[in-house]
Structure 1
Amino acid sequence: MKLPQSVQLPQSLKLPRSPLSGRALTAGAVAVATLMAGGSAAGAASAAERPAAVADAPDIPVANVKAHLTQLQSIATANGGNRAHGRPGYQASLDYVRAELDAAGFTTSLQEFTASGSTGYNLIADWPGGDADQVVMSGAHLDSVTSGPGINDNGSGSSAVLETALAVARSGYQPTKHLRFAWWGAEELGLVGSSHYVDSLGSADREKISGYLNFDMIGSPNPGYFVYDDDPTIEKTFKDYFAGLGITTEIETEGDGRSDHAPFKNAGVPVGGLFSGADYRKTSAQAAEWGGTVGEPFDPCYHSSCDTTANVDDTALDRNSDAIAYAVWELSQ
């Protein structure tokens, strides 16, 4: 997530949009979520009674997500301690993610741009099939700051999006809508990569994106559970998921305008996403709901050299990764 004092994007003309089609959790879905959270099986609906989206959305193995984080940490360690735009660590991170996607059967492409005198890249991955006029897009920025490896910010979001994409491939999922995944460059310099992508789209192509889901910092060590409130359907999808687990969420405000959903939102695309907190401090009320340490930042290592694999809460990473998969399945049918 970029610093708040970074140059903000201009507000562009909002385009008329059709709302995402989504479904509220049924009693069967709540029962599934209750079982996932360790609740009683009494009254749970049979698999045949559950909505297809809930029955089909996979559990994302947190061990797999952490394995990607380990790879990104190793890349940073071997390349001056960071994975920043224009540095070898970013290129190596890009190569790693792209190789995983290519092997899984995605159609990948790189989009080139320039920022601060260096060439940068966005990685776009399309899953074959689905209605090309209705695109559900999920993304995360892949670059770190120069001062650290960026494992929570934003290896966490990048790795969870990657593992969700790989779960699509493993399951052979064929949704009604078209699925696209993206890893953005130079977010830390002012949302440069995602802004370039949105600016490169014509109005017709922007209209085809029925929703963009953004994931920037989802494994903070003193975590909160924050949901973007920009689009009601996407917001409800995430809130329903966490409610089914018995987890209270709050509206995300710390990152408003500070991550890659902003250029999409400014172009009139419905956006949503998840966030576990950066340098804001946890209140007593939040600690009562979520646990953790009152008065401490959600991420004490935000934009620091200590943002390593040790700076990730496994439970938050696991819950948010599963929520990503749930939303991708739910919103693409």
Structure 2
Amino acid sequence: MASRPFLRCAAVGALCAGLLGATPVGATPVGATAAAPASRVPGPPVVTAQRVMPYLTDLQAIADRNGGNRAHGTPGYRESVSYVKRKLDEAGYRTVLQPFTHAGATGYNIIADWPGGDTRNTLLVGAHLDSVLAGPGINDNGSGSAAVLATAVAVAQAHLKTERHLRFAWWGAEEGGLFGSGHYVNALSPAERSSIRAYLNFDQAGSRNTTTWLVTHDPSEAEGAVESTEAFERYFAARSTPTFDIGDTGSDDRSFAAAGIPVAGFTTGISDCIHSACDDIHNVDPAVQTASTNAVLDVTWQLALAKGSR
């Protein structure tokens, strides 16, 4: 996480859910044929700690083998990229590495597209994969990367048929300047930018002692941002989980917002071990990580199935 200026708060209370499209109860008229019930797509599976925490254990092992970090331009980052790409390839994604140069070193973004869906109406879900040189970056931001990876794998295992095109990304060189996500955004054509319904960003998803999830609020109030933020607020409200409305998180969502692309997402806040050697596997609360991962999966799932244009 490059910086963390929390801008504003809005109270999030219980949300009312209306019943849409209710079918009147009554006999079928003579000569009429009863309509077959609409097929319903099953909801997302529940991700357990046993499913998501091994990703963090593996990222810790990568840091341990490579001088204690996974920073941009280091062997630890390159091995992290290879690890995530292998998991995605095994799940059936079309995965591309996007190279860029920063501070004299080559970095990589990982872009993974799930087949299908309207590419003119794309949901992009991402997190930064790099750490700082001072530590392994397991909460910042192995936790966000693991939540997005678990979501991508769950989508693949379900063979989910989406309405919107679904793309996942892991950014390089977030620490110190958002360089990977900035490179990605700058390389987009105007048509490609306008095709992104929303970008969902997740940074520090497993902070210990978390009681409140910090939900990104895009001040542009763009349709894709409002739809996505409200989906997160409904998800947390349904579980009686407190949320706190924030503006700019200072992470990769800033690259997209600056280009006029709607943003949403959440964080669990800054840990005492941010940007330090102690940001290791013990700096992540498995219960918080699991709760965050299920929130990412649930909202990604419902937004990917939604119709509508940007």
TM-score by length of 1: 0.78
Which of 57, 60, 74 pairs up with 1:70?
A: 57
Task: Kindly indicate whether the alpha-carbon contact (under 8 Å) linking 1:26 and 1:51 is maintained by their aligned counterparts in 2.
Answer: no
Hey, what's the Cα distance between the residues in 2 that align with 1:149 and 1:272? 26
Match of 1:156 in 2: 143
Hey, what's the Cα distance between the residues in 1 that align with 2:296 and 2:40? 16
Whether 1:261 aligns to 2:233 is no
Whether 1:216 aligns to 2:203 is yes
Which of 215, 226, 240 pairs up with 1:227?
A: 215
Hey, what's the Cα distance between the residues in 1 that align with 2:214 and 2:4? 18
Q: Report the aligned-residue RMSD.
A: 2.1
Match of 1:251 in 2: 245
Match of 1:327 in 2: 299
What does the per-residue CA deviation read over 1:84-140, in whole Å, with 9 as the maximum and x for residues that have no partner?
000000000000000000011100001111111101000000001111111111000
In the TM superposition, what is the alpha-carbon distance from 1:228 to its structure 2 partner?
0.5
- Amino acid across the alignment from 2:117: G
The higher radius of gyration belongs to: 2
1:205–1:183: structure 2 CA closer, same or farther, 3 Å change rule?
Answer: same
Structure 1 unaligned blocks of 5 or more:
6-23, 29-48, 279-298
- Amino acid across the alignment from 1:2: A
Q: Secondary structure at the match of 1:327?
A: helix
Equivalent residue runs for 1:1-333 within 5 Å: 1-3=1-3, 25=17, 52=40, 55-223=42-210, 224-230=212-218, 231-253=225-247, 256=248, 258-278=250-270, 299-333=271-305
In the TM superposition, what is the alpha-carbon distance from 1:209 to its structure 2 partner?
0.5
Q: Secondary structure at the match of 2:185?
A: helix
Hey, what's the Cα distance between the residues in 1 that align with 2:142 and 2:299? 20
Hey, what's the Cα distance between the residues in 2 that align with 1:56 and 1:222? 29
1:330–1:114: structure 2 CA closer, same or farther, 3 Å change rule?
Answer: same
In the TM superposition, what is the alpha-carbon distance from 1:237 to its structure 2 partner?
0.4
Which structure is higher in helix share? 1
Hey, what's the Cα distance between the residues in 2 that align with 1:64 and 1:146? 28
Task: Kindly indicate whether the alpha-carbon contact (under 8 Å) linking 1:97 and 1:162 is maintained by their aligned counterparts in 2.
Answer: yes
Hey, what's the Cα distance between the residues in 1 that align with 2:300 and 2:141? 19
Hey, what's the Cα distance between the residues in 2 that align with 1:243 and 1:212? 22
Hey, what's the Cα distance between the residues in 2 that align with 1:147 and 1:179? 34
Task: Kindly indicate whether the alpha-carbon contact (under 8 Å) linking 1:62 and 1:321 is maintained by their aligned counterparts in 2.
Answer: no
Structure 2 unaligned blocks of 5 or more:
6-15, 21-36, 219-224, 306-310
Q: Secondary structure at the match of 1:196?
A: helix
Hey, what's the Cα distance between the residues in 2 that align with 1:252 and 1:205? 27
1:52–1:274: structure 2 CA closer, same or farther, 3 Å change rule?
Answer: farther
In the TM superposition, what is the alpha-carbon distance from 1:189 to its structure 2 partner?
2.2
Q: Secondary structure at the match of 2:98?
A: strand
1:103–1:260: structure 2 CA closer, same or farther, 3 Å change rule?
Answer: same
- Amino acid across the alignment from 2:275: H
Hey, what's the Cα distance between the residues in 1 that align with 2:40 and 2:234? 16
What does the per-residue CA deviation read over 1:33-79, in whole Å, with 9 as the maximum and x for residues that have no partner?
xxxxxxxxxxxxxxxx99957x4122122222100000000000000
In the TM superposition, what is the alpha-carbon distance from 1:82 to its structure 2 partner?
0.1
- Amino acid across the alignment from 2:214: F
- Amino acid across the alignment from 2:289: L
Match of 2:12 in 1: none
In the TM superposition, what is the alpha-carbon distance from 1:252 to its structure 2 partner?
2.4
